[in-house]
C-alpha cells in the first residue's frame, strides 16, 4: 500500500484497489486517570472535534510542516488507517510506500519509518513528495526532459525540477494551507476584533480564498485559460458570513468578510510560494529551463485549488501553468504507480 502522510489529510492507496481512504490527519485522544492516552476518534470524526473538546479530550494534529510532531499519535493514526483499510484485525504486515517532503532530515526520515514499522508495516520505502506528484501527474520523469512540479500541501510547499527519474533541484518551504489559515485567523482578530477557530479559517479559505484578482475584462494569462475553467465554473461569493467571539465584549457575533480581505490576509504566504518558484527557475540548468518553457509548470496538492493561484504564477513567470486533475490525490496516485513498478521504485526511493 502507498500512504500520503500529509499535514492536513492522509490518503491510502492499495494495490489493485486504488485510493481506499482519504481522511484528515487528526486524532482525538482522551487522558485517562493514569495519565495515559486512549484514542477516541481518528480522521473525519476527530476533525469535527477540533476546537470543541472538553478538558479530558484533546484533538491533535500529529503532523506539523509535513513531518511528524507527535510520534505516538502518528503511530496510532497509521495503525487505525491500516486496520480500517484491511477491514480485519488479523496481523496484516503490508509493504508500505510513504511520501515525505524533499527537505526532510535524517532524523525525520527515521521517525516516519519507525512510526510505520510500529504500526505494522513489513517494509517501508520513502519517496519524495514532488517525485510522487510528478509520477501521479503522468509526467515523463524517466526521460531526459525536465518536468517542474509545485506541490502545495497543508504544511509545506515543494518545488522540484525532475529529469531522468532524479530530482535536479528541490526546495521545500514550510508554507502551505495551514499558514494561510493562521494568517486569515490573525487578520480577522486584528482587523475586526473577532476570534475564530481553525476550522472556520479553513472554511473561509476554501469558500472565498483567492490569490489573484483578474477583472473579467482582462484576457486570461497565457496558458492559464483551460486549467482555470474547472475552478471558475462557480462564481465566487461576494462575501461570507462568519461567526466568532467578539474580543471587546466577549459575546459571540456574526460578521461579513469579502474575498478582497482574504486575499490581502494571505499575501505573505502567496508571495513566499511565488518566490520559491522563481528561485527554482533561477537555479535550473539552462537546457532544462528550455524544456520548462515548453512544458510549463504543474501545480498539485490542495493549495493548487486556491482560486487565481495559477493565473498569478502565469503572470509572474510568463510560463504555461497547469493544475492536475485531482490535485489532492496526485501524490498518493504517484506512490501507487511506484508500487506497481518495482524497477521505478528502485530509482526513485530515498536511500
Residue 288 assigned as binding residue: no
Residue 11 assigned as binding residue: no
Partners of 22 in beta bridges:
11
Helices (H) and strands (E) in the chain, counts: 13, 18
Residue 204 assigned as binding residue: yes
Contacts of 95 (CB under 8 A, 6+ apart): 1, 121, 122, 123, 125, 339
Residue with cell 494569462: 221
Residue 171 assigned as binding residue: no
**Cβ proximity of 351 and 261 under 8 Å:** no
Residue 10 assigned as binding residue: no
Residue 7 assigned as binding residue: yes
Residue 156 assigned as binding residue: yes
Partners of 147 in beta bridges:
162
Residue 308 assigned as binding residue: no
Q: Classify residue 149 by burial, with Cβ atoms within 10 Å: 0-12, 13-18, 19+.
A: buried
Residue 9 assigned as binding residue: yes
Residue 305 assigned as binding residue: yes
Q: State phi, psi for 255 to the nearest 5 degrees.
A: -145, 150
Residue 72 assigned as binding residue: no
Residue 193 assigned as binding residue: no
Q: Classify residue 86 by burial, with Cβ atoms within 10 Å: 0-12, 13-18, 19+.
A: middle
Residue with cell 510532531: 69
Residue 341 assigned as binding residue: no
Cα–Cα distances in Å, from 76 out to 43, 61, 123, 155? 11, 12, 18, 20
How far is it, in rounded angstroms, from Cα 338 to Cα 87?
24
Residue 225 assigned as binding residue: no
Alpha-carbon torsion, ordered 266, 271, 277, 281, to 10 deg: 170
Q: Which residue numbers belong to the known binding site for ATP?
A: 7-9, 154-156, 202-205, 302-305
Binding site, annotated residues? 7-9, 154-156, 202-205, 302-305
Amino acid at each position: 500500500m502507498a500512504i500520503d502522510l500529509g499535514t492536513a489529510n492522509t490518503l491510502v492507496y492499495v494495490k489493485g484497489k486504488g485510493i481506499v481512504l482519504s481522511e484528515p490527519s487528526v486524532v482525538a485522544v482522551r487522558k485517562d486517570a493514569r495519565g495515559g492516552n486512549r484514542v477516541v476518534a481518528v480522521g473525519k470524526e476527530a476533525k469535527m472535534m477540533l476546537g470543541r473538546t472538553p478538558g479530558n479530550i484533546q484533538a491533535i494534529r500529529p503532523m506539523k510542516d509535513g513531518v511528524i510532531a507527535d510520534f505516538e499519535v502518528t503511530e496510532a493514526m497509521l495503525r487505525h488507517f491500516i486496520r480500517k483499510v484491511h477491514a480485519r484485525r488479523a496481523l496484516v504486515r503490508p509493504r508500505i510506500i510513504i511520501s515525505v517532503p524533499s527537505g526532510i532530515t535524517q532524523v525525520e526520515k527515521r521517525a516516519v519509518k519507525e512510526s510505520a514499522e510500529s504500526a505494522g508495516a513489513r517494509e517501508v520505502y520513502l519517496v519524495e513528495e514532488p517525485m510522487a506528484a510528478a509520477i501521479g501527474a503522468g509526467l515523463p520523469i524517466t526521460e531526459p526532459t525536465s518536468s517542474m512540479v509545485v506541490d502545495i500541501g497543508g504544511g509545506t510547499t515543494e518545488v522540484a525540477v525532475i529529469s531522468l527519474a532524479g530530482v535536479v533541484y528541490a526546495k521545500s518551504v514550510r508554507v502551505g494551507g495551514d499558514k494561510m489559515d493562521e494568517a486569515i485567523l490573525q487578520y480577522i482578530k486584528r482587523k475586526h476584533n473577532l476570534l475564530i477557530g481553525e476550522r472556520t479559517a479553513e472554511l473561509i479559505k476554501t469558500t472565498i480564498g483567492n490569490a489573484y484578482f483578474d477583472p473579467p475584462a482582462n484576457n486570461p494569462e497565457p496558458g492559464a485559460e483551460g486549467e482555470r475553467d474547472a475552478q471558475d465554473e462557480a462564481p465566487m461569493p461576494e462575501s461570507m458570513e462568519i461567526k466568532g467571539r467578539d474580543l471587546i465584549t466577549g459575546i459571540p457575533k456574526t460578521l461579513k468578510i469579502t474575498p478582497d480581505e482574504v486575499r490581502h490576509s494571505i499575501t505573505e504566504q502567496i508571495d513566499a510560494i511565488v518566490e520559491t518558484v522563481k528561485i527554482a527557475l533561477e537555479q535550473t540548468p539552462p537546457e532544462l529551463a528550455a524544456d520548462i518553457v515548453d512544458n510549463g509548470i504543474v501545480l498539485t496538492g490542495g493549495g493548487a485549488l486556491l482560486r487565481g493561484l495559477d493565473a498569478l504564477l502565469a503572470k509572474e513567470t510568463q510560463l504555461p501553468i497547469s493544475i492536475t486533475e485531482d490535485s489532492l490525490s496526485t501524490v498518493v496516485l504517484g506512490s501507487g504507480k511506484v508500487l506497481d513498478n518495482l524497477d521505478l521504485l528502485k530509482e526513485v526511493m530515498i536511500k
